[in-house]
Amino acid sequence: DKGNHRHFMEKEIHEQPEVISHTLANYLDFAEGGVRAFEMPFDFGKIDRLAVSACGTAYLAGLIGKYWLERYARLPVDIDIASEFRYREMPLSKSSAALFVSQSGETADTLASLRYCRAQGVPIASIVNVRDSTIARESDGIFPTLAGPEIGVASTKAFTCQLAIFAALAARAGLQRGTLSDEEARRMVRALSEAPRYAAQALRLEGHIEKIARELSQVRHVLYLGRDTSYPLAMEGALKLKEISYIHAEGYAAGELKHGPIALIDESMPVIVIAPTDRIFEKTVSNMQEVAARGGRIILITDEAGAARASLDKFETIVMPTMPEFIAPIVYALPVQMLAYHTAVAMGTDVDQPRNLAKSVTVE
Ligand code: F6R
């Protein structure tokens, strides 16, 4: 049931403040400000490597998870697209663990990667939305996302709930590995407890985003840029645009721009930049200036301080609430999803059932 929404995707985007909150509550104790002692098939303090593998949007959640686990828990993370991982014959030592990410729990390549790890004898955990799924059953332990059924083919709420779990795992891993003090972990928990509220605020930008999307629906190509955790999010934005609006979009690390893609920049190709004010904000701004100097049209997703500091004359801004840097990828996912959604609606495509795509990819 879509309720009073036009599409399941729109409904699922709007459910995010609630389902993120619900998911986080499973892993974090907001009253105590700590991380819960949830069951795990391995101890973060006893492994020296984590192999993460998934497909599509779930893979991009894993990529953001890698940034967090490496930064906060100093745990080296290998992340692969499952269709590559299953054939790449990665050596796994006895001191590694594997983590799979899948909304459906049935994705063929992800399942094959899991079975490869099973044969290697490492402990296996999975982040799944469907608890009664093959991947869930074949794992030693699961971290359920409590997103509820996701009907729209384009993943939205499952993605942000996967991110919520990675964030909680980073806090847990940091504590177990002794890289985070109790106070630092508490600060992360506090920041996460605010994520649903910021997500609700981001939803209020929908009217403005819809206007920008109407312009986007007129173009053939879009470039999405970001640095650090905004880089996987740029790829997620491009993936969402491709799959539901059929606009050709690419997500790039902003620093890679000058190594090739800058040659594409002209007046007809909008460049969407995701840049919350964080430690590398200025670097992204200088990449933006390179785009502007070549006549590129910029759509900047940032916060108030970022909008003031960017000070370019020709750009469109989506001004997000100011929030702790740690949780920005969870909250910035919403404008990115809304941009794709409203672009697709403006183009009149079948948003919930895009052509050539299936919700659950059970074949290779
Ligand atoms: C994109 C999308 C797909 C899935 C991918 C993995 O919006 O939905 O890229 O993320 O097919 O599916 P699951 O998570 O079910 O393994």
State the Cα–Cα distance between residues 218 and 137, nearest whole angstrom: 45
Query: Taking residues 138-148, what's their average pLDDT?
Result: 98
Give the closest residue to 56 by CA, choosing from 331, 244, 269, 301.
244
Q: In ligand 1, which atom is closest to the CA atom of 57?
A: 10
Residues above pLDDT 90, as percent of the chain: 89
Q: Is the CB of 104 under 6 A from ligand 1?
A: yes
Q: Is the CB of 156 under 6 A from ligand 1?
A: no
Q: Is the CB of 62 under 6 A from ligand 1?
A: no
What was the pLDDT predicted at 160?
98
* Ramachandran quadrant class, 188 (left: phi over 0; alpha: psi -120 to 50; beta: rest): alpha
Query: What is the DSSP-derived secondary structure letter of residue 325?
Result: G
Query: Taking residues 63-80, what's their average pLDDT?
Result: 98
What was the pLDDT predicted at 313?
67
Q: Mind listing the pLDDT tens digit for each residue in 251-279?
A: 999 999 999 999 999 988 999 999 999 89
Query: What is the DSSP-derived secondary structure letter of residue 180?
Result: S
ipTM value, please give it.
0.98
- pLDDT tier at 362 (50, 70, 90 boundaries)? confident
* Rg over CA atoms, the chain: 20
- pLDDT tier at 85 (50, 70, 90 boundaries)? very high
State the Cα–Cα distance between residues 238 and 304, nearest whole angstrom: 24
Catalytic entry in 46, 66, 157, 359: 359
Give the closest residue to 104 by CA, choosing from 130, 135, 124, 127.
130
Residues above pLDDT 70, as percent of the chain: 99
Q: Letter for the amino acid at 14?
A: H
pLDDT at 132 over 90: yes
CA of 358 to the centre of ligand 1 (A): 9
What was the pLDDT predicted at 324?
97
Q: Mind listing the pLDDT tens digit for each residue in 4-37?
A: 999 999 999 999 999 999 999 999 999 999 999 9
Catalytic status, residue 359: yes
Q: How far is CA 77 from each of CA 53, 70, 328, rounded to the nearest angstrom?
A: 10, 7, 21
Residue with tokens 């920049």: 265
Q: In ligand 1, which atom is closest to the CA atom of 135?
A: 16
Greatest Cα pair distance, the chain, in angstroms, is 57
Protein residue closest via CA to atom 16 of ligand 1: 102
Phi/psi at 274 (5° precision): -100, 115
Q: Mind listing the pLDDT tens digit for each residue in 190-238?
A: 999 999 999 999 999 999 999 999 999 999 999 999 999 999 999 999 9
Q: Is the CB of 155 under 6 A from ligand 1?
A: yes
Query: Taking residues 44-51, what's their average pLDDT?
Result: 98
- pLDDT tier at 315 (50, 70, 90 boundaries)? confident
Query: Taking residues 332-352, what's their average pLDDT?
Result: 96
Q: Which H or E element spans position 251?
A: strand 248-253
Query: Taking residues 43-67, what's their average pLDDT?
Result: 98
Q: How far is CA 110 from each of CA 10, 54, 87, 263, 333, rounded to the nearest angstrom?
A: 27, 5, 12, 36, 23
What was the pLDDT predicted at 311?
75
Q: Is the CB of 176 under 6 A from ligand 1?
A: no
pLDDT at 89 over 70: yes
State the Cα–Cα distance between residues 12 and 121, nearest whole angstrom: 37
Q: How far is CA 37 from each of CA 27, 51, 55, 168, 169, rounded to the nearest angstrom?
A: 8, 22, 29, 11, 11
Lowest mean pLDDT among 117-121, 192-196, 354-358: 354-358
Mean pLDDT of the chain: 96
State the Cα–Cα distance between residues 213 and 207, nearest whole angstrom: 10
* pTM for the full predicted model: 0.97
What was the pLDDT predicted at 239?
98
pLDDT at 350 over 90: no
Query: Taking residues 124-150, what's their average pLDDT?
Result: 98
Please count the residues of the chain: 364
CA of 99 to the centre of ligand 1 (A): 16
Q: Is the CB of 103 under 6 A from ligand 1?
A: yes
What was the pLDDT predicted at 164?
98
State the Cα–Cα distance between residues 335 and 235, nearest whole angstrom: 14
- pLDDT tier at 122 (50, 70, 90 boundaries)? very high
